[in-house]
């Protein structure tokens, strides 16, 4: 039997699980927040700051950029592909076994072409320990992931580092800003997790990864092509969902005004119903969400629950953009009310933030003042001396 709820109740439940706008809290530390979020997406774009840092800025009052770097250096986290390239708690290393093996199969056809470079990289890491990516140089170019098929512009060493990382032979063991440091997996993954990864069956690893996905998303939609963070057909997704509903893991929802079929974990039902029944006063908190924030992963969900359409236009030609290359959705209370287009001039120590009300939302004078105050707080959190809200 489905639970009947409103959009507002579901939105507040999601925000509580996401640790946003004080509907719920994560932490107190970055490590604890990471475990509650399940993973945080990594991205190198730093027009104002990198996505992973902005995710934690919005959730932790005292977060500093060095915490994430320390998490890797201390062996408490690792990087791999979940929703995309993500930072993950170290104890999840074993359940990515099937994905590492799938990557090994994908690379198998061409791996022999790079045996010499692979051997040199592995030997250097064995002899010297962790090394930055810039330590591996090559004049030879190959066709990389972002290259045109007829234009080889990627350094062979960079290509092989990527291959070894995806197959699990090496790990990102540390970061200093945008610089990644690599090490042999056997040297940095704790022995207990290496052993578990050896002993766990692929079937169990696959199932535990699907459960991790469910906890990360909390509001489940079998239409999501990233379901379970593994390659699946629509029928395979349906089979998983039907089984979870049958055994009580998932409960169906009927959301007022939403045609799409959503589900939640049975363990979350009580909390969702509490938000549905609650009569809390309006939340006036403001957050500026980075393009790859956990809440934004499923764009269809934003449209159906928040009545908000969002497109990240960084790869859209400038003349075709509606907004800027790094537009941040503005979360006010439990609603997405507009967009902020920021730019950080680091030489001048100045952040300019252009605000745009969503066409479907009216901004009163009070609402505008709240958003402007939030924008100034964001600029100061980024380290700007001068914040201009336009």
3-state SS class at 137 = coil
* Judgement on whether residues 350 and 215 belong to the same structural domain of the protein: no
Q: What is the value of pTM for the model shown? A: 0.94
pLDDT at 97 over 90: yes
Where do we find the tokens 């974990």?
265
Average pLDDT over residues 119-143: 93
How far, in Å, CA of 192 to CA of 206, rounded? 19
* Sequence-ordered list of residues with C-beta below 8 angstroms from that of 198, at least 6 positions apart, any chain: none
User: What tokens does 324 get?
Assistant: 């800027």
Instruction: Find, among 284, 216, 267, 222, the residue nearest to 21 by Cα.
Output: 284
Angle between helices 156-167 and 115-128 (to 10 degrees): 70
pLDDT value, residue 83: 95
Q: Do the beta carbons of residue 323 and residue 339 sit within 8 Å?
A: yes
What are the pLDDT digits (tens) for 139-194? 888 877 776 677 778 899 999 999 999 999 999 999 987 889 999 999 999 999 99
pLDDT value, residue 148: 65
Q: Do the beta carbons of residue 74 and residue 30 sit within 8 Å?
A: no
**End-to-end C-alpha distance for the chain, whole angstroms:** 49
Whether residue 294 lies inside any domain: the answer is no
* Judgement on whether residues 175 and 249 belong to the same structural domain of the protein: yes
What are the pLDDT digits (tens) for 328-352? 999 999 999 999 999 999 999 999 9
CA 160 centroid distance within chain? 25
**Percent of all residues in the chain with a pLDDT value above 90, rounded to a whole number:** 87
Range of the domain at 325: 307-389
* Judgement on whether residues 259 and 318 belong to the same structural domain of the protein: no
* Judgement on whether residues 198 and 87 belong to the same structural domain of the protein: yes
* Judgement on whether residues 17 and 124 belong to the same structural domain of the protein: yes
Domain limit, last residue, from 282, 316, 334:
282
147: buried, middle or exposed (CB in 10 Å: 19+, 13-18, 0-12)?
Answer: middle
How far, in Å, CA of 369 to CA of 375, rounded? 10
* Sequence-ordered list of residues with C-beta below 8 angstroms from that of 161, at least 6 positions apart, any chain: 121, 133, 136, 170, 182
Order of strands, sheet of 262-265, starting from the edge strand that comes earlier in the sequence: 3-5, 250-255, 262-265, 219-220
Average pLDDT over residues 33-58: 95
Q: For the chain, what is the domain count?
A: 2
* Judgement on whether residues 271 and 325 belong to the same structural domain of the protein: no
Whether residue 299 lies inside any domain: the answer is no
**pLDDT bracket for residue 282 (50, 70, 90):** confident
Domain limit, last residue, from 249, 266, 282:
282
* Judgement on whether residues 276 and 334 belong to the same structural domain of the protein: no
How far, in Å, CA of 268 to CA of 369, rounded? 35
Whether residue 302 lies inside any domain: the answer is no
What are the pLDDT digits (tens) for 231-250? 999 999 999 999 999 999 99
What are the pLDDT digits (tens) for 350-384? 999 999 999 888 899 999 999 999 999 999 999 99
């Amino acid at each position: 039997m489905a639970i009947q709820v409103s959009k507002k109740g579901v939105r507040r439940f999601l925000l509580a699980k996401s640790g946003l706008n004080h509907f719920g809290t994560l932490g107190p530390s970055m490590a604890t927040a990471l475990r509650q979020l399940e993973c945080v997406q990594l991205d190198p774009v730093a027009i104002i700051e990198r996505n992973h840092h902005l995710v934690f800025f919005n959730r932790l009052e005292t977060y500093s950029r060095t915490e994430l770097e320390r998490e890797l250096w201390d062996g408490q986290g690792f990087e791999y592909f979940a929703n995309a390239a993500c930072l993950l708690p170290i104890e999840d290393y074993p359940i990515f076994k099937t994905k590492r093996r799938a990557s090994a199969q994908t690379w198998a056809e061409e791996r022999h072409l790079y045996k010499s470079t692979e051997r040199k990289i592995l030997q250097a890491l064995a002899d010297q320990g962790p090394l930055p990516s810039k330590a591996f140089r090559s004049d030879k170019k190959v066709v990389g992931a972002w290259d045109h098929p007829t234009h080889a512009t990627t350094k062979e060493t960079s290509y092989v580092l990527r291959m070894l990382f995806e197959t699990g032979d090496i790990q990102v063991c540390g970061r200093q800003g945008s610089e990644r440091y690599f090490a042999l997996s056997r040297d940095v993954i704790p022995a207990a997790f290496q052993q578990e990864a050896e002993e766990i069956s692929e079937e169990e690893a696959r199932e535990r990864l699907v459960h991790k996905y469910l906890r990360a998303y909390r509001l489940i939609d079998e239409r999501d092509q990233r379901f379970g963070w593994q390659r699946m057909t629509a029928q395979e997704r349906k089979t998983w969902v039907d089984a979870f509903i049958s055994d009580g893991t998932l409960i169906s929802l009927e959301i007022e005004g939403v045609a799409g079929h959503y589900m939640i974990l049975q363990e979350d039902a009580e909390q969702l119903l509490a938000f549905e029944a609650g009569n809390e006063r309006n939340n006036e908190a403001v957050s500026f969400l980075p393009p790859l924030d956990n809440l934004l992963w499923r764009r269809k969900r934003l449209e159906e629950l928040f009545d908000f359409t969002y497109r990240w236009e960084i790869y859209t030609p400038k003349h075709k953009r509606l907004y800027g290359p790094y537009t941040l959705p503005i979360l006010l209370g439990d609603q997405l009310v507009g967009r902020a287009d920021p730019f950080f001039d680091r030489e001048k120590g100045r952040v300019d933030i252009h605000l745009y009300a969503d066409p479907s939302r009216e901004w009163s004078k009070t609402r505008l003042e709240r958003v402007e105050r939030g924008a100034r707080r964001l600029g100061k959190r980024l380290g700007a001396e001068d914040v201009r809200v336009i």
